[in-house]
Structure 1
Amino acid sequence: MAYQPVATLDDKPESRIPSSQSSTSARFTPDFDSDDEEDGGGLEDLEDEEGYELREIRHGQQGEEDHTLGGADEEEDEHSDDGADVPLAGQRRRRRTDSVQSFELYTPDEEIRVRRKLDIRLVLFVAMLYMVSFLDRTNVGNANVAGLSTSLHLSTSQFEWLLRAFYVSYVLFEWMTICYTLFPPHIYIASCVFFWGLLACLQSFATNFAFLLVLRVLLGIAEAAFVGMPIYLSFFFRRDELALRTGMFIAAAPLASSFSGFLAYAIMRFGDILPISNWRVLFFLEGAPALLVAIVAWYWLPDRPSTARWLTARERKVATLRMRSETTSSEPTKFATHSIQWSTILSPLLNPLSYLPALMFFACNVAFSSMPVFMPLILTDMGFPPLTSQALSAPPYLLAFLAILLTAYLSDRHHTRTVPMVFHALLAMSGYTLLALARTLHFGVWTRYACVFPVCAGFFSCVTVVITWTVNNQRTAAEKGTGVGILQFIGQLGPFVGTGLYPKEDGPYFERGMVVCAVCMLCVAGLAGGYCWMLKKENRRRQAHSKNGFIYIT
């Protein structure tokens, strides 16, 4: 293999390193656009052995790449012969937007190291925030088993309204996902976390239905701002890396449900020694952590790769450069309300392809919103005592946690979204179908409990894939904001159906709710197949007109 370094300046001759002849060669590509002042530019970068990535190129492509690097400046070089100023070695050249992929100044090892840091210090922290969010959203189910309805004299319909009230405001404020591209994310996210933590804690002081209803509405507004987190992650990770990171983020939801079950078990187990009601302790203990992590989030979360304070200057450069192949010319690098491009924001609204993922998310959310809330009640009506029900609600979520991570990893590795979506939708459907037929098939309590495991693993994984799929297939940050807004606005109507599927009088088998969820998951599988077919058709059309156009991920 022959290695051909490309000089930083046009007037520096090109040299070759002898090697055996091969059909491929690798190119050193210099960076002319660094944000690290101390690194310098031009010839200084050539002396840094870590400043290069060996990239294979086929013979026949060399001329095209040489034109990309130097073609734009040939006219400039012609004038330099008659006395024009020649650029100095340390002077940076203006970067062309059509050669952005030629300016990757990093080694594969550097990229791996940066990506690992982002996973550990960013994704895991964001996952913790989502865990706190999901905990505060769904703990009303555990609080109900711990005596909420009895203490406040709530009827079944009033309790269902507490669930719906959250989703009413949650849906109405989904448009706030666009704020991730308008305001500095570290300020926006930290503020949201603080306010929902405060509201979650205030639930422990509720004395009547009306007070608790208002708090649930406000909690929905605060948490609606958080659903655009996959947009934020797309600022740091490429399209083929996003499923695993979104999976790590979404996996916090079943982990939160599992933790909530164990915490509710501990509070009810030792609650007799406490001077206040168990459900009040539960609300407060699960809301208080948000107040603490909000302060940390303000200082810890970067707005974009170049501002991550826990990366070195070199790592910030690599983190920025590796995302340039993902960035279009319209991608914002500043967060400001005056830079809104309405044509870009509105374009997903006019694209029919934006609505199929939203319909899939709607069907997923019928199950996703109902099972975590009603799991303790379902287990209690299966015959388990309330204390045991709280503990038994945890293992299915632990399985879902592992399933999400494995699914996301395989989805990125094999560059597919359709296959895992269809598989997990059918898996969840099979679990719901068995639960719906439990009375007819004379299933015992433990057999019915076993059927809950594929249900949780299935719909949690589907939610992960459909969110990633939506973000993947939007080109710019503004389009991602609108696309996720459509996904969430339509998708979050699902909980209005889901929260009414398991009234106490339908126990202990809850056939109606199980049948509805089974049908919804079957619809998810069908919609995923149809969406894949439409994307492939559109990709063929685009490739016929342009070989370098934006290609949808299927």
Structure 2
Amino acid sequence: MEDHTAVEEEDEDVDEEKYHDTPRRRGASVSTVQSYQLYTPDEERAVVRKFDRRLVIFVALLYMLSFLDRSNIGNAKIAGLQNDLNLDSSRYEWVLTAFYISYILFEWMSILWEIIPAHIYVTVIVLSWGIIASLQSVATSFAGLLVLRILLGIGEAGFTGIPFYLSFFFKREELALRTGLFISAAPLATSFASTLAYFIIKLGKYLPIASWRLLFLVEGFPSVLVAVYCWHIIPDSPSTAKYLTKREKKVARLRLRKQKDPKASHKLNFREVLATLSEPKSYLTAFMFFFTNMAFSSMPVFLPTIIHEMGHTVLISQALSAPPYLLSFIIVIFTAYLSDKLQNRSYFVIFHALLSASGYAFLALAGRMGLGAWWRYAGIYPAAIGFFSVITIIITWTINNQESESKQGTGFAMLQLIGQCGPLVGTRLYPENDAPFYVTGMAACAGAMVFVACLSVVLRVYLGRKNRAGQGEYGMLGDEGVGLVGSREKSEPFKYML
């Protein structure tokens, strides 16, 4: 396989020499030059469509299962888990926190995408979290559930590198939409969990098993089944995608040559790792992620309880938890599409961070003013739409503005390591003694999202100055959005995306 790939790369080099040298030496016309094009726009679009259909949709499904398995505990809580395992407010918070402690401690696993073949790596982690999530259905004590949540955090930590993995297949100007499709699986999962919980609770009345146990089993075991398919569907690189023809594999590699050095190895460059650790932009995006995660991690696991405290029954609370996330799913995809189309990240982060802050501020004020339950329920929509969209753009922005794969891997690991500490705060924002309005938690999330908007402004100004000063690292990046390889690459300053 390696020899075959090497031959293909040699052929590409020969083709490229023909393209660059022959027409220009002879002063050929445009039509003659086009006859030496390495690939056509139609060929490129065909490759991108295949990756969208066969890869992006599948990893979005995996993320949906992942988010479902971590967040359905909020639905299980009001379905009887809290009473059966004697979970008071403090114990429930520890069950949530335990997941994120192990999740944070194993964020370094994001770098393993550079080391372990993706089809092996993904299969193992999906299988592991599927088994552990299913075992939550047989938990008989607080201690047992706590251990399972710790193990679930380890299993899911390795999956956080998917946006980095997608950068192996897509150009930087294509990445926000694909990350949006991937991240949008989170609100879709939460919406699905709430809808499924509604039917499981109704069904549970006629079954000998507790509703919350059935919930964990029904929503956890599908991951075990899907893990089998990961081995065959997940490619390690464009060259190993089984659904591409030989020609399409070649196009898939060629189209990324403006942004990735074809001679670069997939091994970590420790000099670049250390350089990334000292760059201000790495910390700015990481802290933006930290504050956004305060809201992103807490709302899905507390929303059924928050709605229940508004005076609705358990069954209605499960049903009302779904619509805000379903609308978020649609808006996230639309936001990611616009961000790619306009080639801008900061404006979308600022807008959606302030939108989310307005939703949380309204919820806090509604509690103070004693407004009705339906007014407070309406405030959930902008809060959820905002933070889901911000998460999507921050992840993409981080990957866009690292100049090499080693820097991307390190920057993404920093984003996750620092950013995922946010849930340690977020999961403790809604104690039972703050019910039914949870004013403190709502106000804290509103303040956090305003701070995210401020940090986005700072990052935009910083990157803009670096672009104007020409201080970007020198790399393979050419003109953004150009589909054909039109000239031999020169060392050009890396242009940061604002």
State yes or no: 1:408 paired with 2:336.
yes
Q: CA deviation at 1:551?
A: 1.4
Q: Does the aligned pair in 2 maintain the 1:262–1:394 contact within 8 Å?
A: yes
Q: Find runs of 4+ consecutive structure 1 residues off by over 3 angstroms.
A: 34-46, 65-71, 439-442, 543-547
Tell me how far apart the structure 1 counterparts of residues 24 and 221 of structure 2 sit (CA, whole Å).
55
State yes or no: 1:196 paired with 2:126.
no
Q: Does the aligned pair in 1 maintain the 2:349–2:453 contact within 8 Å?
A: yes
Q: Show the counterpart of 1:502.
A: 430
Q: Does the aligned pair in 2 maintain the 1:103–1:321 contact within 8 Å?
A: no
- Which structure is higher in RCO with an 8 Å CA cutoff and minimum separation 6? 2
Q: Deviations over 1:424-453 (max 9, x none)?
A: 000001111110000344422111111111
Q: Does the aligned pair in 2 maintain the 1:138–1:373 contact within 8 Å?
A: yes
Partner SS state of residue 227, structure 1: helix
Could you tell me which amino acid in structure 2 is paired with residue 384 of structure 1?
H
Q: Deviations over 1:447-482 (max 9, x none)?
A: 111111111100000000000000111122221111
Q: Show the counterpart of 1:86.
A: none
Q: Show the counterpart of 1:56.
A: none
Distance 1:174 1:543, change over 3 A: closer
Q: Does the aligned pair in 1 maintain the 2:201–2:211 contact within 8 Å?
A: yes
Cα RMSD between the aligned structures? 2.6
Partner SS state of residue 273, structure 1: coil
State yes or no: 1:291 paired with 2:219.
no
Partner SS state of residue 325, structure 1: coil
Q: Show the counterpart of 2:478.
A: none
Q: Which has the higher helix share?
A: 2
State yes or no: 1:542 paired with 2:470.
yes
Tell me how far apart the structure 1 counterparts of residues 334 and 390 of structure 2 sit (CA, whole Å).
12
Could you tell me which amino acid in structure 1 is paired with residue 199 of structure 2?
A
With the length of structure 2 as denominator, give the TM-score of the two structures.
Answer: 0.90
State yes or no: 1:517 paired with 2:452.
no
State yes or no: 1:359 paired with 2:292.
no
Partner SS state of residue 228, structure 1: helix
Tell me how far apart the structure 1 counterparts of residues 25 and 114 of structure 2 sit (CA, whole Å).
34
State yes or no: 1:277 paired with 2:205.
no
Q: Does the aligned pair in 1 maintain the 2:473–2:494 contact within 8 Å?
A: no
Q: Show the counterpart of 1:262.
A: 195
Q: CA deviation at 1:36?
A: 9.1
Tell me how far apart the structure 2 counterparts of residues 228 and 298 of structure 1 sit (CA, whole Å).
17
Q: CA deviation at 1:70?
A: 7.4
Q: CA deviation at 1:344?
A: 2.1
State yes or no: 1:174 paired with 2:174.
no
Q: Show the counterpart of 1:317.
A: 250
Matches within 5 A, 1:246-261: 246-261=179-194
Structure with higher Rg: it is: 1
Out of 363, 374, 382, which is 1:435 matched to? Answer: 363
Q: Which runs of 5+ in 2 are unaligned?
A: 27-34, 475-490
Q: How many residues align?
A: 471
Q: CA deviation at 1:317?
A: 1.1
Partner SS state of residue 326, structure 1: coil
Q: Show the counterpart of 1:382.
A: 310
Q: Deviations over 1:485-514 (max 9, x none)?
A: 110111111101110111122111110000
Q: Show the counterpart of 2:495.
A: 551
Tell me how far apart the structure 2 counterparts of residues 524 and 494 of structure 1 sit (CA, whole Å).
12
Q: Show the counterpart of 2:457.
A: 529
Q: Show the counterpart of 2:479.
A: none
Tell me how far apart the structure 2 counterparts of residues 432 and 104 of structure 1 sit (CA, whole Å).
53
Out of 83, 94, 97, which is 1:150 matched to? Answer: 83
Could you tell me which amino acid in structure 2 is paired with residue 316 of structure 1?
K
Q: Does the aligned pair in 2 maintain the 1:332–1:477 contact within 8 Å?
A: no
Partner SS state of residue 146, structure 1: helix
Q: Does the aligned pair in 2 maintain the 1:192–1:225 contact within 8 Å?
A: yes
Tell me how far apart the structure 1 counterparts of residues 329 and 200 of structure 2 sit (CA, whole Å).
24
Could you tell me which amino acid in structure 1 is paired with residue 153 of structure 2?
G
Out of 264, 276, 300, which is 1:372 matched to? Answer: 300
Q: Does the aligned pair in 2 maintain the 1:35–1:317 contact within 8 Å?
A: no
Q: CA deviation at 1:35?
A: 4.6
Tell me how far apart the structure 1 counterparts of residues 200 and 77 of structure 2 sit (CA, whole Å).
13
State yes or no: 1:448 paired with 2:381.
no
Tell me how far apart the structure 1 counterparts of residues 472 and 122 of structure 2 sit (CA, whole Å).
42
Q: Which runs of 5+ in 1 are unaligned?
A: 1-33, 47-51, 54-64, 72-101, 334-338
Tell me how far apart the structure 1 counterparts of residues 494 and 342 of structure 2 sit (CA, whole Å).
19
Q: Show the counterpart of 1:210.
A: 143
Could you tell me which amino acid in structure 2 is paired with residue 252 of structure 1?
A
Bigger Cα displacement from structure 2, 199-208 vs 433-442: 433-442
Distance 1:224 1:544, change over 3 A: closer
Q: Does the aligned pair in 1 maintain the 2:134–2:221 contact within 8 Å?
A: yes
With the length of structure 1 as denominator, give the TM-score of the two structures.
Answer: 0.81
Tell me how far apart the structure 1 counterparts of residues 13 and 428 of structure 2 sit (CA, whole Å).
67
Out of 434, 454, 473, which is 2:401 matched to? Answer: 473
Out of 219, 223, 226, which is 2:152 matched to? Answer: 219
Could you tell me which amino acid in structure 2 is paired with residue 113 of structure 1?
A
